Chains A and B, each alone.
Chain A
């Protein structure tokens, strides 16, 4: 107990006012943290200093690499740069980089979260020469399908837009590449919600998950894309096509008399002429199969999709308004296809 006076002194110490003195620095508080540091050198991670300005080709490649940047404005700007550099190139000159190099870095952007990036991407895609796109449809399609079933409605609608561009640019290869027909149609049905009977009725209280999107009428746009897609897949073959088919039988004017059917024996002008053999991929199931002729596609369509689509169109027409008008486009394509039947 002899320590009580000492303890009292200790206690008093806590409440004493610190004495400030003129001309001396203020004492640091107890909880002061020293943040100063010493370093022998400071390293800047990226620094590229050149005397000469980079060539346009180098900037193109650089911007291509910037497509995977973190900030979405950066991605959008790079896309814009790429678009202008492709569209402003002299006529008939080749692309700064081949499509097969550009495309892999573009593909993930189909699922990009920022709307501005996706619209810019569509602009860029439109500038690509359609002939080059044709060979890369098989690469594009999985991404587009992933986009069409994305949780975010905006991504869905822009994926539909990209799909309609693809059909426009390379319709035949879009519908005939591996998985291009059944899987894509499945995605369409899922976007439109036409899979089952009860879910396709307009009166059904379909619990829609997520926001409906900010870009106007996604349903209308989707219906338009569906019409284009169906037309490309099972629409009545155009007269030129029939003509060329017919002329295949006759001796072609390009080849002089003794040569007949020579075009069949020449090296094919498509990049993967034997893709349907599937020599190197893993075995495909029914959904992933290639349906190369209209006949095949029509058969698959009539057995698997026709009832669902007809039902969907009917309910869309009943809904009326803009949607009804859009549905009439689809129904027109459908009618023509059915009228044409499985083929000549």
Chain B
């Protein structure tokens, strides 16, 4: 059936959008019409509320339309509509279970709209939406409410942090989690907190407290939600931050395109937006970055938390967590123990039972154990565990992967607590460095090189290596006793002291003084205080863009274990003399730089120089051949980083049987995803050219030329007379000289 054409006046009738449009333009003139519609809404509401479940379709539609209409123009008539938000809230709160779905969604949307128009404050809105989110059985409504709540919280915090709102919301979530520990409703608290944590809207201890309570609940979903947050929430946050900073807008390109392309309003707007985005980003760059502590650091009372977790979920026989879930809890507990150096003695005996190669996902247990050990754990608690790992995992009879995992685990434990291993066991384990299995050999070497650093006297003499042996002999390396702490220092301060010293020497030479002469302190001080403000001295390259890397480092690729040629005795003697001298100088320097820290206030300029020097030193350290060896991997690990099962497994892949050719090819291909099939370089280049729509060379054209087209010329070539052939050859030579048919006369 064809739709009947409507006259203009007829259309106007009973058309709420039209009225809405007119009210927007001129609210004063249409106040009577609006009032009528408001009464209309009230009577419809009355009809509906009298029997919400038995409403007719037409009644519903008109009520929905009216709510939509009124919420859109409510800001024009605040006097008439002052009860409107409260009415909607009542309707939603009391009847959300029986309300028809579309009407329910309309109510939620209208409330958010009213919030946008400032007829409702966000605290009320959240107090309305959240209880429904928790209690409603409808999935679609929950999804809608969750999204609305999140966006509401984000907008409320977009300009400045809305502390009051955040606090009330966090309290609500906290109460939700703590009120009923057996219910799964706490999941909503977790979801909201995690999302806001990820977006860095909530970064306070209170949010962490919510998650802590969640991790201590009795519902396994809630527990795991909380635990996952502590294990991965911060990483998620960092990733999101990286993603945000990655999307670069090229302003130059946008501007250039604007000059070339057709000018439309839309394009102008996009350009404007791009420029604004870049500006705000630059502004953000200038701001000092907010201190973002990880959730693990923001915990109050980590000892209590870790103990509770351990006794409630792991030690407790009644807890019904699955193995993976238990592993996650264990991971969190052990991380807390390692990070905050906590003491939970039953934890270590708990591990005892799981340390066999037949235990499923034993590497995770090993990793957790390593994480849980720190230098304040009594060695006699760890010793049996290490012994057990060695007995169960490391033997000639066990498979290569197993032995590797065991050795790696022992090494990771000993990195954190070097006293955890006995001398004889260590010496036994070090013997595996001669193993045929490459994984085992590497793991054993790792252990060896660790003990060369931290406890060389426990190794056999021949295993100690040159450096360690010499420093032992000189008596400067002492075994670290249990509980002994290194004196705190400013990292890289010796570099600064050295640099200052050099500068002073240079200055003295310039002034014609002996290089060692002490210059007058006053002048120096003055210079220092002048440099208090970093921004003032412009020529100091604080930017950190360029780092000087030493040029004259001779890159020698040699293993420190077996020096190629033994140096002659005399040279050795000389070397040793020199070393002694160096040592003296070094000890003197040590005192010197400590003096720098204790006698002087470091200016910002000093600190800037310090960071620069540190970066330089780090860059130099990565050069091969510098000081013989690269820093061990365990020194580069940050304390916040978790230890994973993968690291414990280590180079187990090396101990596996040799891979087949297909496997090797597949492995090689993993890295290169963009290549479709194997082709020659030339073929690939040609393909690329074709794709880009570029032309072919003359040679290629000639090669592709239709055979029939070439036939005539080939035939005539055969029939040429000698004279003709000569003429052709001559012309060819001549052309060559001229530089082609067209010649290069012009150039």
Contacts and interface: CB of A to CB of B under 8 A. Distances in A.
Interface of A: 1-2, 68, 108, 111, 113, 139, 142-143, 145-146, 148-153, 179, 183, 186-187, 190-191, 193, 195-196, 199, 206-211, 282
Contacts of B228: none
Contacts of B704: 1
Interface in B6-55: 9-10, 12-16, 19, 22, 26, 29-33, 35-37, 39-40, 42-44, 46-47, 49-50
Contact of B44 (A68, A146, A152): A146
B46 A179 contact: yes
Contacts of B49: 282
Given A149-B37, A151-B14, A190-B39, A209 B22 contact: yes
A195 B32 contact: yes
Given A146-B43, A150-B40, A209-B19, A193 B13 contact: no
B558 interface: no
Nearest to A199: B32
Nearest to A138: B50
A210 B13 contact: yes
Nearest to A285: B83
Interface stretch (B56-64, B107-115, B116-124, B204-212): B56-64
A2 B9 CA distance: 69
B747 to A, nearest CB: 35
Contact of A1 (B12, B19, B31, B706): B706
Nearest to B26: A207
A152 B13 contact: yes
A68 B57 CA distance: 10
A145 B19 contact: no
A179 B12 CA distance: 31
Contacts of B56: 68, 108
A2 B10 CA distance: 69
B33 A196 contact: no
B32 A206 contact: yes
A1 B29 CA distance: 77
A209 B39 contact: no
B19 A151 contact: yes
A149 B43 contact: yes
A111 B58 contact: yes
Contact of A145 (B33, B35, B37, B39): B39
B31 A151 contact: no
Contact of A149 (B9, B26, B36): B36
A264 B582 CA distance: 120
Given A2-B706, A142-B47, A207 B30 contact: yes
Chain A CB count within 10 A is highest, among B13, B22, B37, B49, for B13
Chain B CB count within 10 A is highest, among A152, A207, A282, for A207
Chain A CB count within 10 A is highest, among B15, B32, B37, for B32
Interface in B689-737: 704-706
Interface of B: 9-10, 12-16, 19, 22, 26, 29-33, 35-37, 39-40, 42-44, 46-47, 49-50, 56, 58-59, 62, 704-706
B277 to A, nearest CB: 43
A207 B31 CA distance: 10
Contacts of A150: 14, 40
Contacts of A210: 12-15
A118 to B, nearest CB: 14
B40 A149 contact: yes
A145 B43 contact: yes
Contacts of B30: 207, 209
B335 to A, nearest CB: 54
15 contacts: A1-B705, A108-B59, A113-B14, A142-B46, A149-B43, A150-B14, A152-B14, A195-B31, A196-B32, A206-B29, A206-B32, A207-B29, A210-B12, A210-B13, A211-B13
List the 3 closest A-B pairs by CB distance, nearest first.
Answer: A146-B43, A149-B40, A149-B36
Contacts of A1: 704-706
B13 A187 contact: no
Contacts of B29: 206-207
Contacts of A207: 22, 26, 29-30
A142 B48 CA distance: 10
Chain A CB count within 10 A is highest, among B13, B16, B36, for B36
B14 A196 contact: no
A150 B37 CA distance: 7
Nearest to A200: B32
Contact of A187 (B9, B12, B39, B50): B39
Nearest to B37: A149
Nearest to A206: B32
Given A150-B40, A282-B49, 9 more contacts: A108-B56, A113-B14, A142-B44, A145-B42, A145-B43, A149-B37, A179-B46, A199-B31, A210-B13
A191 B40 CA distance: 11
Contact of A196 (B19, B31, B62): B31
A143 B22 CA distance: 27
B83 to A, nearest CB: 9
B92 to A, nearest CB: 15
Contacts of B39: 145, 148-149, 183, 186-187, 190
A282 B37 CA distance: 23
Nearest to A287: B42
Chain A CB count within 10 A is highest, among B14, B15, B705, for B14
Contact of A151 (B10, B15, B32, B58): B15
Contacts of A282: 49
A136 B59 CA distance: 19
Contacts of B42: 145, 183
A312 to B, nearest CB: 12
A193 B32 contact: yes
Nearest to A282: B49
A15 B461 CA distance: 96
B43 A142 contact: yes
Contact of A195 (B16, B35, B46): B35
A159 to B, nearest CB: 10
Contacts of A139: 50
Chain B CB count within 10 A is highest, among A145, A149, A206, A210, for A149
Contact of B12 (A113, A142, A183, A211): A211
B453 to A, nearest CB: 73
Nearest to B63: A146
A313 B706 CA distance: 101
A1 B9 CA distance: 68
Nearest to A104: B54
Chain A CB count within 10 A is highest, among B29, B39, B49, for B39
Contacts of B37: 149, 151
A190 B38 CA distance: 10
A153 B36 CA distance: 12
Contacts of A111: 58, 62
B73 to A, nearest CB: 13
A211 B40 contact: no
Nearest to A152: B14
Contacts of A209: 12, 19, 22, 30, 33
A187 B41 CA distance: 12
Contacts of A186: 39
B151 to A, nearest CB: 32
A212 to B, nearest CB: 10
A108 B22 CA distance: 29
B397 to A, nearest CB: 69
A16 B369 CA distance: 82
Nearest to A155: B14
A199 B34 CA distance: 13
B710 to A, nearest CB: 11
Contacts of A108: 56, 58-59
